[in-house]
Amino acid sequence: MGVRSTKVSVMEQHVVNADELEGRERWRWIGRCGLLGRCPRCGQGHMFAGWLKLAKGCEVCGLDYGYATPDDGPAFFALCFITFPLIFFTMWVELAFEPPFWVHLVTSGPLLIGSCVLGLRPLKGWLVASQYVNKAQEAGTQELFDELERARATRLESGDGERRG
């Protein structure tokens, strides 16, 4: 009979109601949830079912990720914040040092591709968390959100709870 170690992550120690956050705390919460791929409501459940595939919902608090529509956002931000600066760096290396072509194949190519691919997941998480915390919606979707909220309330009243199994 050994002693069971219970390791608690930083996110679990600071469970917050995302609806009550304001100012800097709101942006920190969005960034933390997005970067770690955690549920933007409770900060504990997983946001992703695969590398870039969103889960159906949070396994801890039951938040349905059906509201999330990051679409091309992660790719756009990866291009703007990651790829463009790296392209300028690569061009500077070319103009300043005039290395042979193989140097770019070995360094610049993998750096550009790797950075872009690795940045997609945290950027998508950031967009999904931002949509939830800021209650973002497209024009004309208020009826859809109202319908989803009525369905959630009905599940709660019928005893199904918010947990999904």
Task: Say whether pLDDT at 16 is over 70.
Answer: no
Quick one: pLDDT at residue 84? 92
Reported as a single tens digit per residue, the pLDDT across 127-164 is 999 999 988 766 556 777 788 788 888 988 887 655 54
How far is it, in rounded angstroms, from Cα 68 to Cα 136? 9
Mean pLDDT for all residues in the chain:
84
Quick one: pLDDT at residue 12? 46
Reported as a single tens digit per residue, the pLDDT across 84-137 is 999 999 999 999 999 999 999 999 999 999 999 999 999 999 999 999 998 876
Q: What are phi and psi of 92, to 5 degrees?
A: -60, -45
Quick one: pLDDT at residue 142? 74
Quick one: pLDDT at residue 159? 75
Quick one: pLDDT at residue 148? 79
